[in-house]
Amino acid sequence: MSQYQHTAAASSGTSHSNGSSSNLLNNVNGGSSSNLSNLNHSSIAIGGNGYEGDSYFPPTSSSSILDHSLSVGGNSGYSKRSKFGAGGLYPLSSSIRRWRWWNYIAAMLLIFAVVEGLVLLIGSSVLYTLPDQIQIDSRDFRKVEYQGLGLDPAATYKKQIQVYHVTKEFGQASMGGLGMVVTALASAQQRARTQKVNVVMPYYSMLDNIPGIDIRLGVTLPFDINDNHGRVQSVIFSVYKLKYSVPYKPSDLERDRRSITPVTVWLIGPGNVYPFDRAFQSKNVQEIYSSPRGLPSEWKDLYFSKAVATFIQHQNRNDDISLFAASATRLIDVVHVHGATNALALHFLQQHIDRGAMGEEPPALIYTLHDYLDELQYSNEIVNVKKFMDKRVHSEDEEEDMFLQMDGISPYCHGHRMFTSALGIDLADAVTFVSKTMARDIVEGRLDFYLKELVLGSVLNQAEKNLFIGITNGVDFGKLNPWTRPELRNHGIAFPPNEVIGENGGDELLDSGVSNPTILSAKEAAKHFLFTKGLLTEQDLDRPLVLFIGRFQYNKGLEFFATASQAIKDRGGKFVIMGQPNNYPVKSVNNLERLFKGTVTVISDASTQEQWGIYWRTAADFLLVPSLTESFGLVAAEGLLFGSTVISSGVGGLSEFLIDRPNANDKTQQLEEEEAEKERQFIPLDQQVVEAPREERFNSYLFNAFATDAHSQLSVAINDALSEWRRLKRDPEEHEQFLTRLVNSALSMGWDRPGGPVDQYRALYEISLNSIGFTGQTH
């Protein structure tokens, strides 16, 4: 073996004793010049440039060879690197080279280059895996004349319609407006006895923690999904049921003494396989839309939609029908689906109908849009939707089978996502929106809204058949009212029931047992209560109180807060802002409290609002609703119920119940009166209804939020409102009459008022059933 080979062998990890190292040195010194040259080349590469600490050794062959020989022998047991000299062996610690400033710069540049390379590599891989952007082209749409729903007052019906509402919120599991609306509608329908109501919703685990709820197992059913490998997998789920007691008033029993039966609520439980066995886990109502780890929220929504369709298909089967029966019997008359997150249930139901699995008498399908912003943006990844598609086309090619299945939803796919609102609109036998005014504005082209291209074509198709109907929501005051709330009654602040007189008056309200002789005195007592708790000052007791309730988001008109604060300050008022953080900067809202110290109070934490909110509502003289968009405007209706005059933009559904104060210079009011006068010319005198003058009807101070002088109009509205309040304060009797009028205007918006939402939905159900070949109406 050559000396170079021997040295390399030592470097590769061959173990040597001290004796073998000496032999190695001898071999080096006695080697040939060619080998010395080879080793010298190796030592330059490994041993360095000839500097050893503070000493200098000329780069001779022998020194280089020795240096290298000792360094490659480091694996043989030496703990210190040595050099050969007159004194023998010396430790390496005195010969480590010191770094210069250029070495540090070079190292930093190298580290920077490595980090930049890693960032570039990771960023490129992330961008590569991101889906393509979704592009939706803007387009122009035709205008359709809105026809609306014509009610026949003389119509009676042969049977009680069986309705199944499909919703994510109901009853105790209500997080927001959807749950309040569906709960109130279902309860009012059940009280009317013209509809037998069922509700289908998720089985949230929080329901188990509510005392007094009796939940029982109903049925266990299977359906198929496709796993990640395209194989069909069966999912088994259970459906449970409970009875929801419907609140009612004594007057509900005047025409029919029979007791009002509870609403049957069907609860879709989790599946038997992972991850669907984790569906609908929630500790409280705030978590009902959250999804546990491992279960994507889209999968949870799709699971619920397919389970709902499977359950309703099961419920509509009637295996007991005799072969000799004269005609088939429909067990479920109407399936009423609420919201875009449940729209795919209509797709799965339509599949059952197409296969004949729903029998000869399938139910009518109704779809309700509850808003025109959030619901339009709801979508699912197409890859997730494919997992829940049935292989119903029996072809030999499975890919073709899935293509044919997906072809039914392809018009609703944009990029990598499927938008469900238009699907629900197209598949429904009739579609409703929660405001008649806004429904008319949508189809007649007066309302422009974000992503209208996704749904407006489908809406107009239904409108041309008069199957897109605006049914303005009612208001349910069963829980939130100034008569029966325990907190108000306990502190002697509740409204006196005898003050509410009229068609929807005191006989429908429970005796609150309080001593307040008037609504005005109750509101003054609420202010004094807040004063005793340190929430108002003594000076505030004689100041008009303006209240805002709502989320801190742009479409609620928070851009007008600074103008409103200044106007309220100038008129000697108090402005309380009570809301929840959202997409509007909370810092901007909080700054108002500093800029208008003594005038503005901001309450943004949920616990404080929950503790004191009912008292602020009762004490408020005015409610500020400067919204840019409102489908209905429930908070404004609640304000009227609590005797608060509304200062508002009057947009959307607000225009249906807010009446502006008299203004001879308002062109809108002039046009309204001219139109009303023209209509009266074609009505026989004995049929004309004399309408009270605006002075006796107004309940609000409105401004145009989209006018160039919108802020100026708002200041004028606030000035007019607070000036009128001071005038009424000098005349308590007139003030009380005005407050009573506000309360009555709210009570007139009940769900079951004559010709109201319950009657309108009953008529629409009948129209839908007639369109699919069923007649249940008689005269």
Q: Mind listing the pLDDT tens digit for each residue in 222-262?
A: 999 988 887 899 999 999 999 999 876 655 555 555 678 89
Q: Is position 481 within any domain?
A: no
In DSSP terms, which residues pair with 430 in a beta bridge?
A: 366
Q: What is the number of alpha carbons within 13 Å of residue 646 lying toward its C-beta?
A: 34
Strand partners, 572: none
**What letter does residue 660 receive in the DSSP assignment?**
B
The parent domain of residue 361 ranges over 156-319+328-474+759-778
Tens of pLDDT along 394-407? Answer: 445 555 555 555 66
End-to-end alpha carbon distance in the chain: 117
DSSP label at residue 750: B
d(C-alpha 742, C-alpha 567), whole Å: 23
The CA-atom distances, in angstroms, between 127 and each of 113, 119, 121, 414 are 21, 12, 10, 20
Closest by CA to 563, choosing from 604, 603, 595, 605, is 595
CA–CA separation, 300 vs 683, rounded Å? Answer: 56
Indicate if 215 and 271 belong to the same structural domain: yes
DSSP H/E element including 20: helix 18-29
Tokens of 389: 């598609």
Classify residue 767: in a domain, yes or no: yes
Compute CA distances 769 → 314, 361, 365, 412, whole Å.
Answer: 20, 10, 9, 26
The answer to whether residues 306 and 394 belong to one domain is: yes
Residue 577: closest CA among 493, 586, 649: 586
Tell me how far apart the alpha carbons of residues 663 and 694 are, in angstroms, rounded to a whole number. 9
Which one of 61, 95, 129 terminates a domain? 95
Helices (H), 465-560: 486-490, 519-532
Residue 186 has what pLDDT? 96
pLDDT at 638: 93
Is residue 457 in some structural domain? yes
Spacing of C-alpha 408 from chain mean position:
27
- The confidence score (pLDDT) of residue 672 equals 66
Q: What is the rounded distance in angstroms from the CA atom of residue 292 to the CA atom of residue 274?
A: 12
One domain for residues 507 and 459: no
Does residue 131 lie in a domain region? no
618, 493 in Cβ contact below 8 A? yes
Q: Are 536 and 519 in contact (CB under 8 A)?
A: no
Query: Which amino acid is located at 18 in the chain?
Result: N
* Residue 306 covered by a domain: yes
- HSE, side-chain direction, 13 A CA sphere, residue 517: 2
Q: For the chain, what is the domain count?
A: 4
Residue 114 lies in a domain: no
- Please check whether residue 223 is in contact with residue 307, taking contact to mean a CB–CB distance below 8 angstroms: yes
Q: Which residues pair with 164 in a beta bridge?
A: 198, 335
pLDDT along the chain (779 residues), means of 10: 41 41 39 40 39 40 38 40 43 61 87 88 68 74 88 69 96 89 94 92 96 94 89 95 83 62 96 96 92 94 98 79 48 95 96 88 95 90 91 53 63 91 96 93 90 93 95 85 89 74 40 71 96 96 96 93 97 95 92 96 91 96 95 91 96 90 73 63 58 80 95 97 96 95 91 89 92 59
Asked whether residue 570 falls in the same domain as residue 718, the answer is: yes
Q: Is residue 24 part of a domain?
A: yes
Tokens of 639: 């304000």
406: CATH: 3.40.50.2000
Q: Name the helix (H) or strand (E) containing 768.
A: helix 757-771
| Nearest Cα to Cα of residue 533 among 496, 493, 566 | 493
Tell me, yes or no, whether 504 and 635 share the same domain. yes
pLDDT of residue 652: 86
Tell me which residue of 700, 682, 779, 688 sits closest to 738, measured CA to CA: 700
Instruction: Write down which residue in 77, 95, 113 finishes a domain.
Output: 95
* Contact in structure between 347 and 423 (CB atoms under 8 Å): yes
CB 742 within 8 A of CB 644: yes
Residue 331's pLDDT is: 87
C-beta neighbour count of 747 within 10 angstroms = 21
Q: Among the three residues 52, 73, 95, which one is the final residue of a domain in this structure?
A: 95
Same domain, 231 and 367: yes
Structure tokens given for 228: 């990640």
* pLDDT of res. 407: 61
Between CA 252 and CA 254, with CA 253 as vertex, the angle to 5 degrees is 95
391: left (phi over 0), alpha (psi -120 to 50) or beta: beta
Are residues 524 and 403 part of one domain? no
Report if residue 138 sits inside a domain: no
CA 705 – CA 133 distance, rounded (Å): 34
| C-alpha to C-alpha distances, 343 to 134, 258, 270, 661, nearest whole angstrom | 21, 36, 20, 42
Distance CA 303, CA 284 (A): 21
Q: What DSSP letter does each residue of 34-97 carry, written as one string? A: HHHHHHHHHHHHHH-SSEETTEE----HHHHHHHHHHHHGGGGT-SS----STT----GGGGPP
pLDDT at position 136 is 77
689 and 702 housed in the same domain: no
Do both 273 and 417 map to the same domain?
yes
Neighbours of 518 (CB within 10 A): 18
Q: What is the pLDDT of residue 72?
A: 37
3-class secondary structure, 533: coil
404 and 549 co-located in one domain: no
Kindly write down the DSSP assignment for every residue of 271-339, as one continuous string.
ESSTTGGGTT--SSGGGTT---TTS-HHHHHHHHHHHHHHHHHHHT--TT--TT-SS---S--EEEEES
The CB-based long-range contact list for 571-574 (8 Å cut-off, 24+ gap) reads 571/544, 571/718, 571/719, 571/722, 571/723, 572/543, 572/544, 572/722, 573/543, 573/544, 573/545, 573/546, 573/599, 573/718, 573/722, 574/536, 574/540, 574/543, 574/544, 574/545, 574/546, 574/599, 574/601
Tokens of 91: 């430790």
Residues 55 and 169 placed together within one structural domain of the fold: no
Residues ≥6 apart with Cβ < 8 Å to 667: none
pLDDT of residue 107: 87
CB 175 within 8 A of CB 169: yes
Which residues lie closer than 8 Å to 492 by C-beta, 6 or more apart? 514, 515, 516, 525
Is residue 348 within 8 Å of residue 306, measured between CB atoms?
Answer: yes
Give percent helix, percent strand, percent coil of the chain, each to the nearest 5.
45, 15, 40
Task: List beta partners, residue 418.
Answer: 380, 413
Rounded to the nearest integer, the mean pLDDT of the chain is 81
Q: Which residues pair with 239 in a beta bridge?
A: 219, 268
Are 302 and 367 in the same domain? yes
Q: Are 477 and 500 in contact (CB under 8 A)?
A: no
